[in-house]
Amino acid sequence: MKTIRFLFFALLSLYAFRSPAVEGDIPVKAFLIAAPDSENLKDFNKFIKEDLKKEGVTHLVVRFRYKYQFKSHPELASEGALSEEEVKSIMKTCKEAGIEMIPKMNMLGHQSGGTNLFPLLKEYPQLDETPHVEMPEEYEWPNDDGLYCKSYCPLHPELHPIIFALMDELVEVCEAKALHVGMDEVFYIGDDKCPRCKGRDKAELYAGEVTAIYNHLASKGIEMWMWADRFLDGRTTGLGMWEASMNNTHRAIDMVPKGIVMCDWHYVNAPPTIGYFATKGFRVLACPWRKAEVAVQQLEQVQLLRESAPDVIAERMLGVFQTSWTGADNFMNAYYGKEASDRDKENANCFKELFKAVTELEE
């Protein structure tokens, strides 16, 4: 009888004092920054080497879009595009600092901004999902066309050879193990006037493009990161049309490969969506912008789930991914306490507070 009682208490104590689902440091502490201008390259590399390393950044996502002198498609380089040598200097700096560099492009949506058409649709207007929507002389939101930014047509037969060549080049020059492909805020998809897409299921169209890009990267052993907003139902969650989908693309979550790293951005509060993505089978990163209290709440959620969820879910909580949506020089100025806009100051402060909280958590 004594033995049985002993065994019972031994098992109970094992259960009560079992270690958290996943132990150790949070694996990914990422930071998103715009690619610098050539004249700021030296400061940018110094910032990586001296500051980002010290802060504890593990992954630096550099937002290139078309800001690279592509050799496969020189016509698609945007103004001020960086040369191969310049990008390699960033890559080497990251390597020396022990930080993984991940280049970022925008696939599908974000092919224009304000009154400007970006290089892909400027050079290849046939790829425009909504050629009937003219670029305005003055941009304002809302507008009659519902134009936030243009999308390319995912079903155009000329599309993939072009964008895959750009993706391959960026991955190669950055010696990257992962590529961030954007794909956020897609409002133009399956347009009624597109001869290829009209009448099709928007979730299937979205999932089809996500999967095509994923498969291309996977065939080269490259991981795919993307923004997760189109996989959330904006109505049911109350998250609305920006950080979630109001055009039914959310059902695509059950149609895409589970190997995607979901970058779940929320800038005003911390909904429980990282748990949703992990439960669906995806690895996930919580992504704040400029509200420090929200960033810390997101970190707390990551940590709570790493400690309390079943192992398979806990392991999918990769960590946090601080965003910035300003020029690299603006962010650095704000970070160093130099003259900067209130918005950039708030952003830099959020970054510092988040990384401070991570350090405290890991101590």
Judged by the rule CB under 5 A, the positions of this chain that interact with Zn ion are 129, 153, 155, 194, 196-197
> Residue 92 Cβ, how far from Zn ion at the closest point, in Å?
40
> Residue 238 Cβ, how far from Zn ion at the closest point, in Å?
30
DSSP state of 165: H
> Residue 93 Cβ, how far from Zn ion at the closest point, in Å?
40
* Rg of the chain taking only CA atoms, in angstroms: 22
Nearer to Zn ion, 61 or 197 (CB): 197
- Using DSSP, state whether 83 is helix, strand or coil: coil
> Residue 171 Cβ, how far from Zn ion at the closest point, in Å?
26
> Residue 127 Cβ, how far from Zn ion at the closest point, in Å?
9
> Residue 55 Cβ, how far from Zn ion at the closest point, in Å?
42
Query: Measured between alpha carbons, how far is 224 from 42 in angstroms, rounded to an integer?
Result: 29
Give strand pairing partners of 82: 68
CB-count exposure of residue 40 (10 Å: 0-12, 13-18, 19+) = middle
Contact 181, 260 (CB under 8 A): no
Report residue 272 CA to chain centroid gap.
18
Please choose, from the candidates 269, 264, 224, 214, the residue with its C-alpha nearest in 3D space to the C-alpha of residue 244: 264
Please choose, from the candidates 26, 41, 27, the residue with its C-alpha nearest in 3D space to the C-alpha of residue 91: 41
Assigned token pair, 196: 């290829």
Which residue spans within 54-177 are E strands per DSSP? 59-63, 100-107, 112-113, 116-117
Nearer to Zn ion, 152 or 265 (CB): 152
Report residue 355 CA to chain centroid gap.
18
DSSP letters for 219-233: TTT-EEEEE-GGGSB
CB-based contacts of 300, cutoff 8 Å, min separation 6 = none
Please choose, from the candidates 193, 169, 186, 190, the residue with its C-alpha nearest in 3D space to the C-alpha of residue 242: 186
> Residue 133 Cβ, how far from Zn ion at the closest point, in Å?
13
- Using DSSP, state whether 262 is helix, strand or coil: strand
Contact 255, 214 (CB under 8 A): no
Nearer to Zn ion, 48 or 203 (CB): 203
> Residue 78 Cβ, how far from Zn ion at the closest point, in Å?
24
Nearer to Zn ion, 153 or 262 (CB): 153
Nearer to Zn ion, 155 or 361 (CB): 155
> Residue 129 Cβ, how far from Zn ion at the closest point, in Å?
5
